[in-house]
Copies of this chain bind each other. A is one copy, B any other.
Amino acid sequence: MSGAIRNRMQLHQQNIQSVLAEVFNHQPISRIEISRNLALNKSTVSSLYRDLKEQGYVEELGEGDASNVGGRKPVLLAINRRYGYTMNFDFGYRHLHVMQNNLSGDVLSYKQVNVKGLTLKQILPLINHELESVASQDNTSHGLLGISFAIHGTVDQNAVTYSPFLDMEHIDLADYYTKKFQVPVLLENEANVSAVYERDFNKANEQLQNMVTISIHRGIGAGLIIDQKLHRGTHGEAGEIGRSVLINGNWSDEPGKVEDFCSEDAIITQIQAAKNAENMSREDVVQLFKQGDEATKVALRGFVTSVAQIIYNTANSFDPDVVFLNSPLLEALPELEPQIESVYAKMAPTILIPVKLTHNSHYATLLGGCALVTREALGMEDANLNFEAQTTVL
């Protein structure tokens, strides 16, 4: 009720944003096409577009093809790719991933910075260096528009509330960078941004209302898109399925946790125990598996089954259109994916939710953050925007 449009001014603002969203989602597009899509009179669209052009958000690309029955050529409109850029970061275990994107979500640059073993205080100067180096080469009209950070932990009210893999040392990233640059700074859980990526960067998912992205990294969590909106939960903890316990009805037993069965860490721990090894990495697991190592095969068979069971439970809880798996381990061993699907199919005899792998999970994470912070920069938090990650650098 509170967010409802009530008067002409608000209506006008919303219509301007609708036109901008149309340009965003269907660029290059003509005025007349926007007019048809939005059921607004073409003169109204022309007028609204003029406003957007004055603000610099959009630009004319040139003429398109005329209809094949005659008529004037349309003028093609698009997002102004030189308006500004966002900076998007992902705190990985070994690397800090850095991506620069324009207003339209195109990748302007991507870089991995080695941060293995570093504390957050030691990482901050590296982040600042990236921000400065990009700023110095910038030739856009409005420069930096926003910054996003993907967090492998939970986030509430734009602050990290739980971070098992990186000590946040009570540093408030949002506060620090907002003060430094006066732009929106956004922290978001990694599974959540990955889910946003699937919603916003994948044309195939445009019509889907509900999606779950199960992120299997060192821990395990889910990003939830419900009615095309990211569901964060009341405390930003929705989708923390890794903490779930196995219902056993037993008062005294400490119930097992999902994470103990199918996080990447759990699998590695299991193989290390069997092989009396230490400090194994994902790459070691992949190599052992490819060498046909028996203990690894057993562990990964358990992994496959657990993941299938998680998919089944998730499907029962959320009933999404599709389940995505964002897992570097699965990305490295794609042959496991059909096995997961087959185990899952045996469990779910009637309704089968399609299962898909998220490819290039680091890009997904960064682009999801880009999508969220770009919306903030535009003041269009609730708009349906379809981004297209073109790696063409202008």
Contact = CB atoms under 8 A, between A and B. Distances in A.
A91 to B, nearest CB: 22
Contacts of A310: 247
Interface stretch (A53-61, A255-263, A367-375): A255-263
A301 interface: yes
A249 B303 contact: yes
Contact of A210 (B209, B233, B241): B233
A231 B318 CA distance: 8
A248 B320 contact: no
Nearest to A267: B249
Given A18-B6, A227-B229, A227-B231, A302 B250 contact: yes
Contacts of A39: 6
Contacts of A304: 251
A38 B6 contact: yes
Task: List the 9 closest pairs (A to B, CB-CB), nearest first.
Answer: A233-B319, A249-B302, A238-B319, A249-B306, A237-B319, A244-B313, A249-B261, A246-B246, A240-B316
Interface in A210-252: 210, 222, 226-227, 229, 231-241, 243-251
Given A4-B14, A6-B18, A39-B6, A309 B255 contact: yes
A261 to B, nearest CB: 4
A315 B243 CA distance: 10
Interface string A100-142: 0000000000000000000000000000000000000000000
Contacts of A251: 301-302, 304-305, 343
Contacts of A238: 210, 317-319
Interface of A: 1, 4-8, 11, 14-15, 18, 21, 38-40, 162, 209-210, 222, 226-227, 229, 231-241, 243-251, 255-256, 258, 261-262, 301-306, 309-310, 312-313, 315-321, 343, 347, 350-351, 383-384
15 contacts: A4-B14, A11-B11, A222-B317, A226-B227, A237-B319, A241-B317, A244-B247, A244-B313, A245-B312, A246-B246, A247-B256, A247-B313, A249-B262, A251-B305, A255-B309
Contact of A316 (B14, B243, B302, B343): B243
Contacts of A320: 233-234
Given A6-B11, A247-B261, 5 more contacts: A209-B234, A226-B227, A226-B231, A238-B317, A317-B317
A125 B129 CA distance: 77
A319 B234 contact: yes
A120 B360 CA distance: 53
Nearest to A15: B6
Most chain B CB atoms below 10 A, which of A238, A258, A302, A384: A238
Contacts of A241: 316-317
A309 B4 contact: no
Contacts of A317: 222, 238-241, 244, 317-318
A16 to B, nearest CB: 12
Given A5-B11, A6-B18, A320-B233, A247 B247 contact: no
Given A6-B15, A39-B6, A247 B239 contact: no
A17 to B, nearest CB: 9
A318 B243 CA distance: 12
Given A246-B246, A316-B244, A18 B4 contact: yes
Contacts of A222: 317
